[in-house]
Amino acid sequence: MWTKLRPLRSSVLEFAGKGVSVRLVVSKRCLICLFLFSGWLFSFSIGRADSRFFPLEEVEAGQRGEWRTVAEGNELRTFQLEIIGKVPNYLGPGKDAILAKALDAEHIRSGPVAGMSGSPVYIDGRLVGAYAFGYIWPKEQAIIGITPIEHMLGLLEENGTGQTGPAFSEEAPLRPLPTPLLAAGISGTTLDLFREEFARFGLQPMSGGGGSGTAPAPGDLEPGSAMAAILLKGDFSMAATGTVTHREGDRLLGFGHPFLHWGEMEVPFGGAEILTIVRNLRISFKFSNPGEPVGTLYADRTTGVAGLLGEVPAMSEISLALQPSGSTRRVYRAEAFRDSRLTPLLVATVVAEALGQSLSAERESTFLVEAEIGIEGLAPRKVELAATGSNAHGRVAFGMMERLSTILDNPWGNRALESLHIEVAATPGQHVRRVETVRTNRSEYRPGDTVEAVVELRDKEGSPSREHLVLTIPENLPKDSRLELVVADAEERARLMKTMPRGDLPPPELLDRWAETRPANGISLLLVRRSTDFTSRGRSLPGLPTSVARQLRTSGLAEPADGRRVLAERHRRTSALITGSWRTPLPVKFQ
């Protein structure tokens, strides 16, 4: 096809195509005729290309139109509307929105419907835009906002176009309709536990439908069909429902407003079956069942989302095996949307639900957890957690979310979670013991001696128990060593060992720190050497005579070196969580 037509001189014309050009010598009269013909042909071709769309500039108050959507099953229905006018710059500078009112009694009763976002709106059979906004109250006015299609078409480009803002205020009278995030297999109690976390992403999850075999196939997805962004699938599922606005080949436009305000993204999506429209005083919504993923949502902009049918993004594989004491082992499986920010929250939701659901009859429980974390580009590592009490499942879930968040969403570079395999041993009741006193086998030691410690513990009912711990004093101690014997819970141990994970560490080092962290169901006996060194302006001053060190400290020229060094450790796992610590100077006699 010829792509350029331009005059070189008054009697020479050049046609240029892909790698080919032709020059013709013509008279001036022929040249004029050719340009008149080419202008008409160009206008005709543009008219044909735009014939599917109704231009925003031609939208006027009083025009009648319709929108198409699915209200039940997969069947498209048509609803009537009337244009009220245009809202200048509502979608950003130079981007007007269209205001309309619904005319059918059914929609006036329901008011704006969450999940209907993206429903194509037509005037004279031509697509004018997407049903995307609504005045939530009063419902009987049935006022809706439309995102013009000409503001959405740029999303069909590979990387999307436009900005991700503006962020619409919750108090704004006309605002984007909520995108129903329906969660199947997840109780309202669990969703309430994480409601604030989801709200940070602009998501409002509610218990809803699960997977469906009757969602439309890729070839049946058309303007008006229900579509779902799939965040979680398997024994637990979570998907956000919207509507397809326009399709060109394997590319789709939908929603008519932002989903996560992320710009570029890679979210699995599929079709959805609509079970019904639930009328609600606050906001009516579509109750849906998402289908299997069939493609990728790749753009998330002010004016909508865009997706490509075909390749589906990889998801994080999650398995959780729960072994309650005296009961049958059960395994839960799910796949989560891979994202450094959202995946930890999805994982935490799965963990909390699996633990809470399985032991719902127990008022208090104790969980001992071992998780193998597979991070992109890193060798799998095992991490341990423990929690007890009435909200033990929540503490385990938030603990897992914290660990994953610091590794995946990291200042040194974001990572993807490839797999997470969790083993949980569960017992009913709260099992916690506090360190009371410690007895040692001798009053004085020499280098190379064995220290035996009997740790006296007490549970919340006051019942006593004890643990025996043994370690050996190193033989090659400096003669001026000042030693302490410390019995430590997991938190105190991490402080003394200087293994507390920090979010500013690179992911490999941070993962190692988490793997080295002992769970709370254990107790440690530590031999600690207190430093006798001093520092001045950040430089170490080892081996100072006591009198000199005292004088430097008094004058403010030097300070004691920070820290204690752990020389030896013995750790013992326990059936209960340990709290509290104990320390005493350990007298050592040097020859």
Q: What is the CATH number of the domain that holds 95?
A: 2.40.10.10
CA distance 540 to 533: 7
Q: Which residue has the tokens 């997706």?
A: 307
The reply to whether 20 falls in a domain is yes
Last residue of a domain, one of 267, 287, 310: 310
The reply to whether 591 falls in a domain is no
Asked if residue 474 and residue 525 are part of one domain, the reply reads yes
> Which is nearest to 426 in space by CA: 575, 228, 265?
575
Last residue of a domain, one of 428, 452, 468: 428
Residue 367: give its domain's CATH number. 3.10.20
Asked if residue 133 and residue 225 are part of one domain, the reply reads yes
Residues whose CB is less than 8 angstroms from the CB of residue 29 and which lie 6 or more positions away in sequence, other chains included: none
Q: Which residue has the tokens 């957890």?
A: 369
Asked if residue 230 and residue 111 are part of one domain, the reply reads yes
Asked if residue 162 and residue 67 are part of one domain, the reply reads yes
User: In this structure, what is the dihedral angle of CA atoms 157, 91, 101, 78, given to the nearest 10 degrees?
Assistant: 10
Q: Give the phi and the psi of residue 425 in degrees, each rounded to 5.
A: -100, 125
Asked if residue 171 and residue 85 are part of one domain, the reply reads yes
Asked if residue 340 and residue 298 are part of one domain, the reply reads no
Type and span of the H or E element at 290? strand 284-290
Number of domains the chain is built from: 4
Asked if residues 364 and 430 have their Cβ atoms less than 8 Å apart, the reply is: yes
> Which is nearest to 211 in space by CA: 233, 226, 188, 243?
233
Asked if residue 550 and residue 457 are part of one domain, the reply reads yes
Per-residue pLDDT 10s for the chain (591 aa) are: 333 333 333 444 444 444 444 444 545 445 444 434 444 443 333 334 468 999 999 999 999 999 999 988 889 999 999 999 999 988 888 889 999 999 988 877 777 788 889 999 999 999 999 999 887 666 567 888 999 999 999 998 755 444 444 444 444 556 677 788 889 999 999 999 999 999 888 888 888 765 555 888 888 899 999 999 999 999 999 999 999 999 999 999 999 999 988 888 999 999 999 888 887 766 788 888 899 999 999 999 989 999 999 999 999 999 999 999 888 899 999 999 999 999 999 999 999 999 987 766 567 899 999 999 999 999 999 999 999 998 999 999 999 999 999 999 998 888 999 999 999 999 999 999 999 999 999 999 999 999 999 999 999 899 999 999 999 999 988 877 889 999 999 999 998 888 888 878 899 999 998 998 999 999 999 999 876 555 665 565 665 666 666 666 666 665 555 557 889 999 999 989 999 999 999 999 887
- Longest CA span, the chain: 119
pTM for the whole structure: 0.80
Number of CB atoms found within 10 A of residue 488's CB: 27
Q: Is 491 exposed, middle or buried, given 0-12, 13-18 or 19+ CB atoms closer than 10 A?
A: middle
HEC string for 544-572:
CCHHHHHHHHHHCCCEECCCEEEEEEEEE
Amino acid 77 reads: R
CA distance 393 to 353: 8
* Residues forming beta bridges with residue 445, ordered by sequence position: 588
Asked if residue 293 and residue 345 are part of one domain, the reply reads no
Range of the domain at 36: 4-50
- In our burial notation (b when 16+ CB lie closer than 10 A, e otherwise), range 4-18 reads eeeeeeeeebeeeee
Amino acid 479 reads: K
Last residue of a domain, one of 411, 428, 445: 428
Q: Residue 33 has which token pair?
A: 């005729």
Asked if residue 403 and residue 489 are part of one domain, the reply reads no
CA distance 341 to 85: 39
Asked if residue 71 and residue 34 are part of one domain, the reply reads no
The reply to whether 505 falls in a domain is yes
CA distance 242 to 228: 6
Asked if residue 437 and residue 364 are part of one domain, the reply reads no
Asked if residue 219 and residue 194 are part of one domain, the reply reads yes
Q: Give the phi and the psi of residue 478 in degrees, each rounded to 5.
A: -60, 145
CA distance 320 to 422: 5
